[in-house]
Structure 1
Amino acid sequence: MTESIAANPDRLLPADPGTRAIARELLADVENLPIISPHGHVPAEMLAEDTPFPDPTALLVSPDHYVTRLIHANGTPLDQLRVGGTAEVDSRTAWRKFAEAWPLFDGTASGYWLRSEFEHVFGLSAETVDSFGVDTADSVYDAIAGKLAEPSFRPRQLFKDFGIEVLATTDDPLDSLEAHTLRAKDETFAGRVLPTFRPDPYLNIAHPEWAERVDRITAEAGDGVEGYAGYLRALENRRRYFVERGAVSADHGVRTPLTLKLERPEAEALFAKARRGEATAADRDAFEGHMMYEMARMSVEDGLVMTVHPGSFRNHHTATFEKFGADTGHDIPFAIGYTEGIRPLLQDFGTAKGFHLVLFTLDETVFSRELAPLAGFYPSVYVGAPWWFLDAPDSIQRFRSAVTETTGFTRTSGFIDDTRAFCSIPARHNMSRRVDASFLARLVAEHRITESRAHEIIRDLVDGSPRRVFKL
């Protein structure tokens, strides 16, 4: 009988028996705590409408750019995986491509999530998972499709079964949030599903729809005020609309952490230049940097937690973007610098009462060099958990080592799953809890903290930190 990797109680725990024993006790404290997910990309409509998942490929392969990018790198065209809504092949044929590529995921974070999903969510045996490939692709497809047809595999029931207490979505500023309203009125649904204000296309003048979106938001929420003043008024009003419907944060996927405090005439001139279509690349960076300053000002006023996700070169391969669209696997990290870029914002708001600023990075060198020192001084700053390419076991261990010696445990955000892959949420959070148990167990074994204190810390990391940082 094949030994199950995904069901091994010691997965990701230390190899040393003594340290592993400590980690087991720490994990037992938190393994079954509710999941708090204050930043992610699961659509609210899925839970409001309780829509059945369509098929295994549409759920586990096509929308997951962690999965499709690696298969593509090894020679399979994206249209053979039904990426971006393409239908060159049917769902089952695309699944066979995935099955053929299954060995590629050994050692990757995606392989860890998928193996856990296969066994823990869909009930596949370890033997079935280990033998998954071309010869078994159809039988595995049929087994998962059969599960998806059951009422117990509707999104709402899985939300409950996964132990999710809070789940945040990511929403356009002009979204009506109707799905959130419908869900909130349903007394049979116990969890909290919170909207998140995501204004990137309204702040970045390089976005192809920026002018159109500015016109729309100003017309709909600018209180009849025109120009730059109406634009700011509209953003403030829509943020208020989100707060009234349960939002706790505003998320910003910016290119770099640059912030600028421009005088009003200069900001108005940049805005007018952009509206005429005459803005340069330098103008784009300056205006976005200024608007990040304005977003911080608004967060101080309305209480929304401000999260910043910079450092991704979006749509790196133009031909792929033109054919398949955004979020299809070719966003690539690049080096960034926070210390100088974020300073104008922190000069005015870094010590503002009640302001929470969560800073993320895809550049690991930033954790110890910049983010931990910033969070170790400014009351507003929290270090965001490893994100995207870094939300993996070894990366999270490195993160804990990089930031803890400078800023301790209380200045971090709590784990952020940041995922569209709904069925991977429990696996991701369980992984984080195991890695934190391992890290703390080592500190106990090295006599750097007491075991009783380690138990207090891990409970705070899993439950207290996300509630505190995101004002839950």
Structure 2
Amino acid sequence: MAKPLVLHDDRLFPAEPSARAVARELYAAVKGLPIISPHGHTDPSWFSENESFGNAADLLLAPDHYLYRMLYSQGVPLEQLRVPSKRGPSGADPREAWRLFASNMKLFRGTPSWLWLNYVFAEVFGFEIALDEATADLYFDTIGEKLATDAFRPRALFERFNIEALATTEGPQESLKHHHAIRDSGWGGKVITAYRPDPVIDAEHEQFGDAMERFAQLTGQDVWSWRGYLDAHRLRRAAFIDAGATSTDHGHPTATTADLAPAEAQALFHKITAGTFTAAEAELFRAQMLTEMARMSLDDGLVMQIHPGSFRNHNRLLFEAYGRDKGADIPQPTEYVRALKPLLDRFGNDPKLSVIVFTLDETSYARELAPLAGHYPILKLGPAWWFHDSPEGMRRFREQTTETAGFYNTVGFNDDTRAFLSIPARHDLARRVDCAFLARLVSEHRMTVEEAAETAVDLAYNLPKRAYKLDQTSPAGALAPAA
């Protein structure tokens, strides 16, 4: 007998009745707000070409590292899950891959993936019975039939999800042709880009040489000279702004910044381009480039995002066979107080600059990040991210940062996802957790319900819109008044 698929109306709300009633009231005020998705990794070609997604395995399983990393940990080979390798697409049958996934659904109990998936199954596809081995074919066929209809094409889903703005992420070596096609199509959906220069900044990145060549081609600059290299960044940033960008993004291993004298920076750059650098010099160059990017943001208005602290591609054999972003990135301790000081000494008191800092090291929330953001005008805290984009992770974030940084030195929520259909699920989860946290403050008489309701709306909508300058016609415009 099939099990019912149940999404309880009070999920993630407090168990105590009076606090739960407050959470319900707060959630009712934010449930229907438009989604601001200011940072993520969805594919812009989905929205430029607006083609059908295909089948359940290729849409929901093969691109989602949250899912296949769990299955891989239990001994399921990635090739059986339709995950492409460096050799090319997987040859696994999509239905068999989906059956394998469905038979292992119990692995996701208690994880945020369980909540996201079942939201998608119930709210997007209308299922009323749970996915398991017995219902795998029903799910696969039903999802396939719906994906073949116009109502499930990317643009229709974008509008159905009530997404007001969505940012993808591209490197400076990429052409942005899909963003130009979206703009030229006349479709009203707001899909913008973000500038992620890691492939031409991180000399240890496996794409560094090829990316630099493409960087030179797109800009017409001598990117092997220090002046030409910096000018090339300025040109690509301008092109990204033309494609709607309001932010940059930096996924460095650490948060280390540097402020070298011009001659020292130029000498270091020559070592980087000559390939004669040490690991310490590669780190110093990444550190210097964060400060150079901050300097450019003062000129062009792009908000900086710093996403440090991941030991990427930890599984060497998997990286060699499948490449990066295959679920083998591991959080590591990350220091911020000394790491950010060179950048903060140079620019930390200039309110024209905005830097959003994330962490995978939760021990730094109360000790370092909240005090820094609670003081420096340029700093804001990004939400609980990646491994901590979860109910408990979000609660810990609010508990450890609110007393020192408050709510208004944070930027609300962003989903940072590659899985398009999970976007409304993730925002719904974040809104529920924030409403539960605010309900606790109301129940403890630390906030009135009216203050909590205003804060809930700000966290869900106003703060991300303002922090990423999506309430302005261009990123260089004046900040709008606080909501």
TM-score (normalizing by structure 1): 0.96
1:79 deviates by: 1.1
Partner of 1:10: 10
- CA-to-aligned-CA distance 1:249-298 (integer Å, 9 cap, x gap): 00011100000111122222222112222111011101111111101111
Contact 2:224–2:273 at 8 Å: present in 1 too? Answer: no
- Counterpart in 1 of 2:21? 21
In structure 2, what residue type is equivalent to 1:391?
Answer: D
User: In the alignment, residue 110 of structure 1 is paired with which amino acid?
Assistant: S
Structure 2, unpaired ranges of 5+: 471-483
Matching residue of 1:388: 386
Residue identity in the other structure for 1:238: R
- CA shift, 1:141, in A, is 0.9
In 2, distance between residues paired with 1:428 and 1:94?
24
1:142 paired residue number: 141
Aligned residues: 466
Of 213, 225, 229, 1:227 maps to 225
> What is the aligned partner in structure 2 of residue 46 from structure 1?
46
- Per-residue CA distance 1:9-47 (angstroms, 9 max, x = gap): 111111111000011110011100000000001111101
Mapped to 2, the partners of 1:244 and 1:63 lie a distance apart of: 29
2:427 alignment partner, SS class: helix
Partner in structure 2 of residue 266 of structure 1? 264
The aligned residue for residue 441 of structure 1 is 439
Aligned position for 1:176: 175
Cα distance, 1:226 vs structure 2: 5.5
Mapped partners of 2:456, 2:43: distance in 1: 30
Please state if 1:107 is matched with 2:110: yes
CA distance in 2, matches of 1:226, 1:97: 49
Stretch deviating more after TM superposition (409-418 or 266-275) = 266-275
Correspondence for 1:122 among 112, 122, 125:
125
Change (3 A) 1:224 1:291: closer
Residue 354 (structure 1) aligns with: 352
Instruction: Look up the SS of the partner of 2:36 in the other structure.
Output: strand
1:370 maps to what in 2? 368
Provide, for residues 300-356 of structure 1, a one-character-per-residue CA deviation record: whole Å limited to 9, x for no partner: 111000000011111101110111111111111101001100110011111113211
User: 1:214·1:231 contact (CA, 8 Å) conserved in 2?
Assistant: no
Q: Note if contact 2:173-2:211 (Cα within 8 Å) is conserved in structure 1.
A: no
Calculate the aligned-residue CA RMSD, in Å: 1.4
Aligned match of 2:404: 406
Q: Which moved more, 1:176-185 or 1:310-319?
A: 176-185
Q: Which residue of 2 aligns with 1:339?
A: 337
Separation (CA, whole Å) in 1 of partners of 2:217 and 2:284: 25
Question: Letter of the aligned partner of 2:132 in structure 1?
Answer: G
Conserved? CA contact 1:84–1:328, under 8 Å: no
Q: Percent identity at matched positions?
A: 47
Letter in 1 for 2:73: A
User: Corresponding residue for 2:163?
Assistant: 164
Aligned match of 2:152: 153
* Structure 2 SS opposite 1:262: coil
SS of the equivalent of 1:251 reads: strand
Specify the SS of the correspondent of 2:372.
helix
Corresponding letter in the other structure for 2:333:
A
1:174 is displaced (CA, Å) by 2.9
Match of 1:247 in 2: 245
1:60 is aligned to 60
Q: TM-score, normalised by structure 2?
A: 0.94
Letter matched to residue 137 of structure 1: A
**Worse overlay, 23-32 or 218-227:** 218-227
DSSP 3-state at the match of 2:84: helix
Structure 1 unaligned residues grouped into runs of 5+? none
- Is the CA contact 2:382–2:410 (under 8 Å) kept in the aligned structure 1? yes
Local SS of the residue matching 1:207: coil
Letter in 2 for 1:152: A
Q: How does 1:190-209 map to 2 (within 5 A)?
A: 190-209=188-207
Counterpart for residue 466 of structure 2: 468
Which 4+ runs in 1 deviate beyond 6 A?
Answer: none
* Counterpart secondary structure, 1:198: coil
Bigger shift: 445-454 or 270-279?
Answer: 270-279
Q: Assess if the C-alpha contact under 8 Å between 2:373 and 2:409 holds in 1.
A: yes
Moved more, 83-92 or 396-405: 83-92
Cα separation, partners in 2 of 1:207 and 1:347, compared to 1, 3 Å: same
Q: CA–CA distance in 1 between the matches of 2:92 and 2:373? A: 49
User: In the TM superposition, what whole-angstrom CA distance separates every residue of 1:147-175 from its partner, at most 9, and x where no partner exists?
Assistant: 11111000000000001000000012132
Mapped to 2, the partners of 1:171 and 1:292 lie a distance apart of 17
Residue 216 (1) aligns with residue 217 (2) = no
Deviates more, 1:349-358 or 1:157-166: 349-358
For 1:84, what is the secondary structure of its paired residue? coil
- Residue 429 of structure 1: aligned partner: 427
Letter aligned with residue 82 of structure 2: R
Q: Does 1:288 align with 2:286?
A: yes
User: Once the two structures are superposed, what CA deviation does each residue of 1:337-396 show, in whole Å capped at 9, x if it has no partner?
Assistant: 011001100111111132110000011111111111111001110000011100011110
CA distance in 2: counterparts of 1:115 and 1:211, whole angstroms: 42
1: distance between equivalents of 2:139 and 2:222? 57
Structure-2 separation of matches of 1:203 and 1:28: 45
TM-fit CA distance, 1:219: 4.5
Instruction: Choose from 90, 96, 100 the match for 2:99.
Output: 96
2:312 counterpart residue number: 314
Counterpart residue type for residue 182 of structure 2: R
Cα distance in 1 for residues equivalent to 2:135 and 2:221 = 60
| Cα shift readout 1:142-199 (whole Å, capped 9, x = no counterpart) | 1111111111000000000001000000012132222112212333x32211110010
Aligned mates of 2:388, 2:157 — CA distance in 1:
26
Does 2:77 correspond to 1:74?
no
Structure 1 position 413, deviation (Å):
1.2
Q: What is the CA-CA distance between 1:228 and the residue it aligns to?
A: 1.1
Distance change in 2, residues 1:225/1:463 (3 Å): closer
